[in-house]
Amino acid sequence: MEEFNESFPYKRVVITGGAGFLGRFIVARLQAQKDVEIFVPRRAEYDLVEAADIKRLLAATRPDLIIHLAAVVGGIGANQKNPGKFFYDNLMMGTQLIEQSRLYGVAKFVALGTVCAYPKFTPTPFREDDLWNGYPEETNAPYGLAKKMMLVQAQGYRQQYDFNTIFLLPANLYGPGDNFDLESSHVIPALIRKCLEAREKGAAFVEAWGTGNASREFLYVDDCAEGVLRAAALYDESEPVNLGTGSEIKISELLQLIARLTRFKGEIRWQTDRPDGQPRRRLDVSRALEKFGFRAQVPLEEGLRRTVEWYETTRAVRSTGEESSRGNEQELQGSLPS
């Protein structure tokens, strides 16, 4: 698949969560486009849970396209600690952004959902038509359901108001610039950090949640950015679309790969009293290829190597005690799901 180099059809673009992990890659790609003005609202100025702040944002930026990446989210532990907050904040952000964008006359709204919205026991590969065939995995159901409500709203608004909203479902993201804070990080950055620190300390083992038997699909963050912008430019239909690689890996195999890339040679101890989360995740990615020509390009091992190198380099050049992954100022509105 060639990189999407055609002229981008929208000229004033608001990217919520644009200072976050995925957002920075989307912003970088859009900056390469001619005559595109990009606006990234910051939480200190615009609280997207509040309708009044959304109205101010729209009046100030006058966008013809909104890409809604903003989310209050974390890994399994963070989901267990914050189910009410994750549900309310994500629901209110999505619902009010779509409604106010419709009222303002925004030409297109791109809503980023989450693979957590799929039912717990969805047959693999996950097909978009399976979204409503059961309840999500319990530890992240509040977050997943809040995000899935944007799909309901998008389809209803397209039918009643002819409002052009699309809904994308990315696989688990990873890559340079990820959040490596162990209190809120997702599985790949958490395991990279644990292995590197264990190697440096000469530790005999690392501990990992669960049994290692659960599987996940991982999408390199810049591949996802490419998919989002292709969909924004080329896709105008009501059906949700998966963004992923179409392949999965067991967490136990992932940890072995990360241990090799980080040169950690100690023992891996599984905390079997901790939850695995959803048993399997692998997406059917045929619709994205058919509808807007998206196919992921970066193999998992190569993406992991880049991520490990970025984290090691970033830690090495920082002389302060700050968490090296916090270049996005830890904005809650700038992250994506595990």
Q: Which residues are catalytic?
A: 143
Specify the residue for token string 């994506």: 336
CA-CA distances (angstroms) from residue 170 to 55, 59, 85, 128? 28, 30, 22, 12
| CA–CA distance, 84 with 306 (Å, rounded to integer) | 35
| CA–CA distance, 186 with 179 (Å, rounded to integer) | 8
| CA–CA distance, 224 with 32 (Å, rounded to integer) | 17
Name the token pair of 21: 């992990």
Q: Helix or strand or coil: residue 16?
A: strand
| CA–CA distance, 229 with 284 (Å, rounded to integer) | 19
Please report the sign of the dihedral spanned by the C-alpha atoms of residue 169, residue 156, residue 103, residue 91: negative
Query: Which residues, 6 or more positions from 191, have their beta carbon under 8 angstroms from its beta carbon?
Result: 206, 208, 254, 255, 258
- Using CB atoms within 10 Å of the CB of residue 293, give its burial: 0 to 12 exposed, 13 to 18 middle, 19+ buried: middle
- Beta pairing, strands 249-250 & 65-68: unpaired
